[in-house]
Structure 1
Amino acid sequence: MIKQKTNGRWLVDIEPVKGKRFRKTFDTKADCKRYEALILAKFSNNDEWVNPNSDKRSLVDIVDLWYQLHGHTLKDGSRRFQALVRLSNALGNPIASRLTSAIFLLYRNQRTNLGLKPKTLNNELTYIRAVFNELIALEQLNYANPLEKVRPLKVPERELTWLNKEEINELFAAVNERSNYSKNPHLQLLIEICLSTGARWSEAESLNPSLVKNNQVTFVDTKNGKARTVPISEDLANRLHKHWNECGPFTSAIGAFRRVLDKTGIELPEGQATHVLRHSFASHFVMNGGNIVTLQRILGHSSVKTTMRYAHLCPDFLNDAIKYNPMSIIGLF
């Protein structure tokens, strides 16, 4: 397309192949036509661009290219790369340009029948789709993402379980009686950190003295890679520094936590374990009148939609619709 702009100059806008667009401004319409002809000639003589199927690289080949150009920079890049290689081989390692939605959906159906969870299968789709998107953005692929229109599976909302006051007391009682089956010296403080800040267990374990200052803890080894700081009580801050002086840095205590949990009557959904501490912090925070947006910042959620899972626990949550609607401050005439 060639058109004249309001300033009198001429714009050429051309997309010789899908995903490859050229836009340039010239003083004359003739210059635009010459540029357009040049671009069309370039792509008409390049079989690789005219015929995407001329790209014979396998799915493993482009996964490896993705890792070399981008994946290695990700926090979980190595793990994701290994998962992508397994996925590619499970798909039969086809020529990447010939992968289709149907091939992937048949594979996913087989995996579903084997009992794999929707979240696991959605992760696979997210990973492989991201490979194509990134390489297209880097101009390493000349065809559209073959999985662009594949929809993720619906994931049933997991039960949100949290510990009430009695269960928290029961947990600490079990910690205090654990000498016969768990001697990990860090267990109690790690539990306190999670219940006091909403930290993930791994975030708590990664703390060290330099990250606890002015009655605040700063979590740096976070899920989204962004550091966040949360206030704590002076008492907890002092006990943390005293503990590190006497016992050294935190070491893994998740096994000790599970053994202690087994000694209680607390029943949790599959896969929760230490994460129930984070849920418990958030739930009690909201029930005690805490603000949802503040909770989002404390937990480090990138979207408040995630934090809204706890909104129903707010005191008078639904009654606010009556209290704060405009009809409450005006009269009917």
Structure 2
Amino acid sequence: MAIEQQPDGRWKVDVEPIKGKRFRKTFKTKGEAQRFEATCRANCIQAQPWNPKPKDKRKLSELIERWYDLHGHSITSGRRRKNTLLLMASRLDDPVAIRLTGSHLAQLRRVELEAGAVAKSINNRFTYLKAVFNELRRLGDIDYANPLDTVKPLKFQERQLSYLSIKEIRLLIESLDKLKRSPSARLVAEVCLATGSRWSEAESLLPEQVRNDSVTFINTKSKRTRTIPISTQLQQRLHAYFEQHGRFTSCMHSFRAALKDSAIKLPRGQATHVLRHTFASHFIMNGGNILTLKEVLGHSSLTMTMRYAHLSPSHLRDALRLNPLDGFDTSSTHEKQREINSL
């Protein structure tokens, strides 16, 4: 018996949370009885000074596996992220997670930087590891503070976004046309250039996602569906391809080969993603609205989209119109200064 109503209407509590520890009490209301029972159970579970709670001895790799089981499996790149985190744990000699400190990570970062790793990639991995502790604490799986909260990310010079000029786009299309073994590469590239999609989003398109002169992307990074208009000609070519070949095959390597053949030089790490940058850059340079671009690209925040704002014609005109020398005759000032100097 735990809680039972008596003949006189009162509620009797008779609870034994642990063997040999029994509590009995009678209350006027059922609510009071339930609160008393819950308090008794909580007090017995709570660690006492003479019987402290065992320390969490799980290693970092075990916490990463636990994070994946509870949360990581539900995100788009969960398995890849787990493998990255396990590699980090190995490089840290897989310490007991509760003993991990910021100095451990700082030392690993120094080693990776000296080995030629990119600062942004190091920061991304640090963010992934920090998120493991935050998520497990939120879920109640750990009861200690995040040991990485005091570590600041590395500061680095932001790279200028590269995009293709109209001439370079033509060169790339010509190189893609030469790929007889991979007819899908050109179409996937054109979808990216026409819609600003990621390569994986365009490559996973199905025939039913191309209709009414638009494409609908469902396999997106943000998990949100978005529909982008395309030309009738591109839609017809897509349907013709699907009818003849079926869905797109993996063709990223073919694209890289065509890019190399075109002799277009891009910064490290920008291959297929340059198509997305190219769409966004030309969209803004042609007078497109930054908020519209945010929705087209599927960005979760405007901060990401603002990287392209400096390409806006109005932005450039404002820099000319609003600078402190606008309307000021600098040439005459120089002449007057020379006259003063000659005296």
Normalised-by-shorter TM-score class: 0.7 to 0.9
Counterpart in the other structure of 2:59: 58
Deviation at 1:285, TM superposition (A): 0.7
Distance in 1, Cα, partners of 2:49 & 2:296: 53
1:126-145 CA-partner distances (Å, limit 9, x unpaired): 12111111111111111111
Paired residue secondary structure (1:316):
helix
Deviation at 1:123, TM superposition (A): 2.0
Counterpart in the other structure of 1:262: 260
What 5-or-longer segments of structure 2 have no aligned partner? 1-35, 323-343
Counterpart residue type for residue 123 of structure 1: N
What 5-or-longer segments of structure 1 have no aligned partner? 1-33, 325-333
Counterpart in the other structure of 2:33: none
**Is 1:71 paired with 2:72?**
yes
Candidates 264, 268, 292, aligned match of 2:290: 292
The answer on whether the counterparts of 2:163 and 2:274 sit within 8 Å (CA) in structure 1 is: yes
Q: TM-score, normalization: structure 2? A: 0.77
Counterpart in the other structure of 1:100: 101
* Cα pair distance change 1:243/1:47, threshold 3 Å: farther
Kindly report the root-mean-square deviation, in angstroms, between the aligned alpha carbons of the 2 structures.
Answer: 2.9
Counterpart in the other structure of 2:325: none
Asked which structure has the greater CA Rg, the reply is: 2
The answer on whether the counterparts of 1:159 and 1:269 sit within 8 Å (CA) in structure 2 is: no
* Cα pair distance change 1:321/1:262, threshold 3 Å: closer
- For residues 1-333 of structure 1, what are the structure 2 equivalents within 5 Å? 43=46, 45=48, 54-176=55-177, 178=178, 182-320=180-318
The answer on whether the counterparts of 1:67 and 1:81 sit within 8 Å (CA) in structure 2 is: yes
* Cα pair distance change 1:44/1:260, threshold 3 Å: closer
Distance in 1, Cα, partners of 2:172 & 2:49: 68
Aligned residues: 289
Paired residue secondary structure (1:194):
helix
Counterpart in the other structure of 2:19: none
The answer on whether the counterparts of 2:76 and 2:221 sit within 8 Å (CA) in structure 1 is: no
Deviation at 1:125, TM superposition (A): 1.2
Deviation at 1:263, TM superposition (A): 2.1
* Cα pair distance change 1:58/1:115, threshold 3 Å: same
* Cα pair distance change 1:90/1:174, threshold 3 Å: closer
* Bigger mean CA deviation after superposition, 135-144 or 120-129: 120-129
Paired residue secondary structure (2:168):
helix
- Percentage identity across aligned positions? 46
The answer on whether the counterparts of 2:85 and 2:128 sit within 8 Å (CA) in structure 1 is: yes
Counterpart residue type for residue 262 of structure 2: T
1:276-305 CA-partner distances (Å, limit 9, x unpaired): 111111111111111000001001111111
Deviation at 1:308, TM superposition (A): 1.0
Paired residue secondary structure (1:128):
helix
Deviation at 1:155, TM superposition (A): 3.4
Distance in 2, Cα, partners of 1:320 & 1:169: 32
The answer on whether the counterparts of 2:196 and 2:296 sit within 8 Å (CA) in structure 1 is: yes
Distance in 1, Cα, partners of 2:154 & 2:262: 36
Distance in 1, Cα, partners of 2:94 & 2:260: 44
Distance in 2, Cα, partners of 1:167 & 1:80: 34
Indicate the structure whose relative CO is greater, using CA pairs within 8 Å and at least 6 residues apart. Answer: 1
Distance in 2, Cα, partners of 1:72 & 1:80: 10
Q: TM-score, normalization: structure 1? A: 0.79
Counterpart residue type for residue 291 of structure 2: V
